[in-house]
Structure 1
Amino acid sequence: MVTALARRADPNLGALSHPAVLERWAHRAKRVTDGLRKDRRRLEKQVADQQHKAVADLAEADDAYAMGCAMEVIASRLREDLRSQVYLRLQQSEKRAARISRLIEAANRVARNEPRLARPVADVCLVHTATCVAAARGDSCAACVPELISRLNAILIAPAPRAPISGQLKPGTNATGTPAKPTARPVVPRLAGPGQSASARWLPTGDRIRTGTVRAAWQVAVTRDDVNRRRCPIPDGTILPSHETRRLRLYFEHLSAATRPQNVTLRQVGGRWQLEGVRWPASLQPGLLVDFTWRTDSTTMTAVTKPLRRPERIDGTEFRHEFDRQVVTRELEPDGDPRHATGPVSVERWVLRTLRILGHLCPQGTATLAEDALVRNCQSLGMPDRMTGQVNDATTNLIKAGRIRKVRGGRDSYGGLWYPARSGDSLVDLIRYQPTVEVLKPQSLAKMGAPAPRSAHQVHGFIRRLPAGAHASDRQMELYEEAVQAAELANRSLDPNRFTFVNKHRREATRGGH
């Protein structure tokens, strides 16, 4: 019917505008237009092949195609108008108005009483509304509720930001350096099993990555897998459309030096957000903590490692930057994987490796396994069956050597290990591995990036990196252009959001200089 009307010189569209057939008309309009377009192209080819008798047919096809396009536009406009009328009628419904009023009142009450819950709910709903096909059509999102709850749970159960464990604390102080309040009973920590400790966490100095403009800050304890796969995990709780991809420039600062910027990609893989294409510095040890900062309306991101005032040596490996003790216990294998060893491998080595990889960790990096599960865990990592009978003797030798020790702990009803045991836990013998920690002499100021004593001297103009949120002034950009014109600097584009120009000047002597 639509095709026949399109071929008429003056079609009557009144019948098609009836609500009973309007949706069908709009649905068929594009298919009809495509068919008329094919007829037109076929006749154009015939005319091009000198078949003059097809000229009249081509003119008729042109008219039909133009009319079909017009009918398609009319159909879409009438359908939108019909939907608007239906929407207005629904809005004017007293029952609907009362229901909406009650929902708004309930939402406002939740926002007042539970502000920490209201904000992530609002963020999740905002992202969903922008990407949901049903919401775009004005349909109900009832089928989307399980997905929304899943996203909200990922935010609410994400590990809270905590201070890095990077050195020994002063007596009487807590992790922030402030005087610790005396407590009657210390809290017994639950030991974290394999996969239960996150290598990435949000920092309290910034926000989580979410829609809108925020200054996001997070910390990553680098693992070997991250280095090998050239990726960087993002903590749970990121709120962005799942299909979104961002191309960013990463500026890495390690060992008091900035590396060349690199191109990375932010995307979701397997339900988790991560940075791909990260070229970690070759001198970066597994377990080091890297702080990332990103203003989400910018395409630049910074990554920084922080030096320790007093370096530490963990089982013979020296760390001069802040590190995560749990990740170091998992990742630091001085002798490598026994399965790939060229010579004979001792049972003691298998026991130590099993404790470090599968043991339940405490914040200080100590790894613990139940004694009755030690053999089974060794076998799961590839220990040959012929060695299992020697595990008890190897454990005794390691205890005598001071490499591990046997303690009495607790096991809860879910199989979790606790040390020391809590009231109500079933007692169990535990095998504990504790890293050997040596605190070294403080690093010199020069090694930590502080200026050494110097004499007075002339300083040439140079480019300086700006801290996050700073902006170069117009005057400094003018001085930079003047320096380039005077051939004092090589000409290159200067981003005023990231760099500024320091004009040439004389630097005075510092203490110890001349």
Structure 2
Amino acid sequence: MRTVNRRHTLTRADIDDGVCPLPDELATRLPHPEAVTVVVEHRMHGLDPAGETFTCPLSQEIAWQVSGLVWPPDVHPGTLVIISWQAAKDELHLRTIVLDDPMRVDGVDYFHEYDPRVVTREFDPGRSNRGQVLNVVRRQGRVYEDGSALYPEAGLAAACGLGRGQKGAFLLKNAVDQLLREGYVTRVTGSLNADGYPSYPPVDDEEQAEMLFYAPLVEPAPYPGDFGGDGGGERREHWVKGFVRKLPPGAQATERQQSLHAKAMETAQIDEPLEPGYTFVKKHHRHG
């Protein structure tokens, strides 16, 4: 029987619960479902081999899955795994794929290939007011292949759970203003189709609406032990130096942001040019 390969993108639940879902066509090939030998092939931080072998039961709840795994600590939600059944060895192999260069996505270091869309959906922004707003944009909004997300601002009040009336509106405004100030989101004018599906730039003959556009901050990540390397875990409250961030298609930095960027360049706070389609976010304190 030949080797069967499939790909799976790990979710936060997969990692926390120590499971890996399997497609039907692969799960039904396993000859000993009560005790499957599972080999996790992995390089810690993309460098040192850190593979481990488990004996796992195969079960079917919503879908087939093997359980009893312990995923390595540098595996984060969105990480891609190659699943292969190697019949000659009677083993199920789960292999992560090392990136040529590690990447930091909104403060989380990825050393292995990942799906930006799942990273956006699965990131936990916390339970603060601004975290609840960001959670709605990233989980309920339209997510693009690069991990950016779009959500109609008018729908936030009902979706965020910050309360009704004047107090709820006040809390929501403050949360959105904080996200705008921190550079997590940008306010743009998009459109909604008859089913409420958002688009940006706006589509002809659709109702225009104000949107919040989220774009992940993706930058090179250092290896642990290098300057700036911390092992890649999710970060909470910290200071963020000024940085250049992607804007929605067709949008440009305001004159104020261009001026702030020029000043940061003059004082050697940043050395990255402000190219078309990007804006500058000044140094600020970020709550996660």
* Shift in Å, 1:249: 0.8
- The alignment-based identity, stated in percent, is 26
Residues 421 and 239 of structure 1, relative CA distance in 2, 3 Å threshold = farther
Map of 1:114-193 to 2, 5 A cutoff? none
The SS at the match of 1:261 is strand
For 1:337, which of 126, 130, 148 is the aligned residue? 126
Structure 1 runs of 4+ with >6 Å offset: 236-239
Residues 300 and 359 of structure 1, relative CA distance in 2, 3 Å threshold = same
8 Å CA contact retained: 1:238, 1:273: no
8 Å CA contact retained: 2:2, 2:86: yes
CA distance in 2, matches of 1:253, 1:238: 18
1:263 matched residue in structure 2: 55
Residues 237 and 407 of structure 1, relative CA distance in 2, 3 Å threshold = farther
1:352 matched residue in structure 2: 134
1:273 matched residue in structure 2: 64
8 Å CA contact retained: 2:42, 2:95: yes
Q: TM-score, normalised on structure 1?
A: 0.38
Corresponding residue pairs, total? 216
8 Å CA contact retained: 1:310, 1:442: no
CA distance in 1, matches of 2:59, 2:90: 14
1:315 matched residue in structure 2: 106
The code of the aligned residue for 1:426 comes to E
CA distance in 1, matches of 2:201, 2:25: 32
The code of the aligned residue for 1:389 comes to F
The SS at the match of 2:73 is coil
1:254 matched residue in structure 2: 42
1:191 matched residue in structure 2: none
The code of the aligned residue for 2:185 comes to I
Residues 425 and 264 of structure 1, relative CA distance in 2, 3 Å threshold = farther
The code of the aligned residue for 2:176 comes to T
Residue 394 of structure 1 pairs with residue 175 of structure 2 = yes
Residues 304 and 226 of structure 1, relative CA distance in 2, 3 Å threshold = same
* Shift in Å, 1:372: 0.9
The SS at the match of 1:283 is coil
RMSD: 3.0
* Shift in Å, 1:405: 0.8
Residues 297 and 265 of structure 1, relative CA distance in 2, 3 Å threshold = farther
The SS at the match of 2:137 is helix
For 1:362, which of 128, 144, 150 is the aligned residue? 144
* Shift in Å, 1:226: 0.8
Structure 2: tracts of 5 or more residues without a match: 225-288
Map of 1:93-492 to 2, 5 A cutoff? 213-235=1-23, 240=28, 245=33, 247-255=35-43, 256-270=48-62, 272-295=63-86, 299-333=90-124, 337-338=126-127, 345=128, 347-379=129-161, 383-385=162-164, 386-440=167-221
CA distance in 1, matches of 2:193, 2:25: 29
Find the structure with the greater CA-based Rg.
1
Residues 292 and 349 of structure 1, relative CA distance in 2, 3 Å threshold = same
* Shift in Å, 1:421: 3.5
Residues 266 and 283 of structure 1, relative CA distance in 2, 3 Å threshold = same
Structure 1: tracts of 5 or more residues without a match: 1-212, 339-344, 444-514
Residues 293 and 413 of structure 1, relative CA distance in 2, 3 Å threshold = same
* Shift in Å, 1:296: 5.3
* Shift in Å, 1:361: 1.0
Residues 239 and 398 of structure 1, relative CA distance in 2, 3 Å threshold = closer
* Shift in Å, 1:290: 1.5
2:263 matched residue in structure 1: none
By relative contact order (CA 8 Å, sep 6+), the higher-ranking structure is 2
CA distance in 2, matches of 1:351, 1:268: 35
8 Å CA contact retained: 1:326, 1:365: yes
Map of 1:48-59 to 2, 5 A cutoff? none
Residues 257 and 442 of structure 1, relative CA distance in 2, 3 Å threshold = closer
8 Å CA contact retained: 2:86, 2:93: no
Instruction: Name the one with the larger helix percent.
Output: 1
Instruction: Name the one with the larger strand percent.
Output: 2
CA distance in 1, matches of 2:25, 2:189: 37
* Shift in Å, 1:439: 2.6
* Shift in Å, 1:225: 0.8
CA distance in 1, matches of 2:75, 2:178: 34
